Amino acid sequence: MNFTLKIWRQKDAKSKGAFETYKVENISADTSFLEMLDILNNDLIHAGKEPVAFDHDCREGICGMCSLHIDGLAHGPGQGATTCQIYMRKFKDGATITIEPWRSAAFPVIKDLVVNRGAYDQILQAGGFVSVRTNSVPDANAIPIPKPDADESMDAAACIGCGACAATCKNGSAMLFVAARVSSLAKLPQGRVEGARRAKAMVAKMDELGFGNCTNTGACQAECPKSISIAHIARLNREFLSAKLED
């Protein structure tokens, strides 16, 4: 399979970026998207040119670092999958593929397709945790938790913090990410103790970092590689409003 790649190249956050066009040939249909970029970079290095910078780590759909906009879709043409789980058989032979970094004011470009997603880390540091004594591991059945609550908490905890939700949202909102983190703890007794403080702190940090407001268009849920439901946003709103009323 042969492809034409239109890739965003940008030296750093302060430099002006632009698309550059590359050709890749004889690519197997079973090649993953990131392997295809590896092949391109190998060709560029042998030609004495600067390789394309892109982020990746596990290549197993777990870490979410492979954050790319492919043909206008976060993580590319596939539901419930990250970029590293996309294979070239998803594209037509001879297709032109446009590859961009996340487009969000809160995720400044570091180089080419790599962005700084440290804003999500700051939101987590503001409240995405429980304060507990860290000594011996408690027995798993020490605190009974209804299975529906445990299941819902685990569904929310599946969020990998890749940033697709904010990059897809027309307002650049991080509400789905924050909601997943809040919801995963709100459904557990260990998280209820700091529930009010958590919701207020994480929403405040999200606003401080320049993320936009949620208008419930559902684009975040559609592009989320872990299919996190926007129902969690409703829980975040309830947690936040209840905390404000208590104040």
The share of the chain scoring above pLDDT 90, in percent, equals 85
Task: Work out whether strand 109-111 and strand 114-115 pair parallel, antiparallel, or are unpaired.
Answer: antiparallel
Q: Are the CB atoms for 199 and 208 separated by under 8 Å?
A: no
**CATH number for the segment(s) 3-111:** 3.10.20.30
Residue limits of CATH 3.10.20.30 in the chain: 3-111
Per-residue pLDDT tens for 136-181? 777 777 888 999 999 999 999 999 999 999 999 999 999 999 999 9
Q: 134 pLDDT exceeds 80?
A: no
Instruction: In whole angstroms, give the CA distance from residue 238 to residue 186.
Output: 11
Per-residue pLDDT tens for 182-210? 999 999 998 988 999 999 999 999 999 99
Q: Are the CB atoms for 172 and 105 separated by under 8 Å?
A: yes
Tokens of 64: 């979410």
> Quick one: pLDDT at residue 10?
96
Residue limits of CATH 1.10.1060.10 in the chain: 118-246
For residue 162, what are the contacts with CB-CB under 8 A and spacing of at least 6?
63, 64, 65, 66, 67, 75, 82, 117, 225
Instruction: In whole angstroms, give the CA distance from residue 37 to residue 99.
Output: 10
For residue 156, what are the contacts with CB-CB under 8 A and spacing of at least 6?
179, 180, 181, 183, 184, 187, 228, 232
Q: What is the value of pTM for the model shown?
A: 0.91
Instruction: In whole angstroms, give the CA distance from residue 189 to residue 196.
Output: 13
For residue 165, what are the contacts with CB-CB under 8 A and spacing of at least 6?
173, 174, 175, 176, 177, 220, 221, 223, 224, 228
> Quick one: pLDDT at residue 48?
97
Mean pLDDT comparison of 35-39, 76-80, 208-212, highest-scoring range: 35-39
Instruction: In whole angstroms, give the CA distance from residue 51 to residue 44.
Output: 6
Per-residue pLDDT tens for 105-119? 899 999 999 999 999
Instruction: In whole angstroms, give the CA distance from residue 73 to residue 78.
Output: 9
Q: Are the CB atoms for 216 and 171 separated by under 8 Å?
A: no
Sheet of strand 3-9, all strands in order from the earlier edge strand to the far edge: 18-24, 3-9, 96-100, 69-70, 73-74
Instruction: Using pLDDT thresholds of 50, 70 and 90, give the confidence band for residue 131.
Output: confident
**CATH number for the segment(s) 118-246:** 1.10.1060.10
Q: Are the CB atoms for 88 and 34 separated by under 8 Å?
A: no
Nearest to 123 by CA among 99, 144, 136, 107: 107
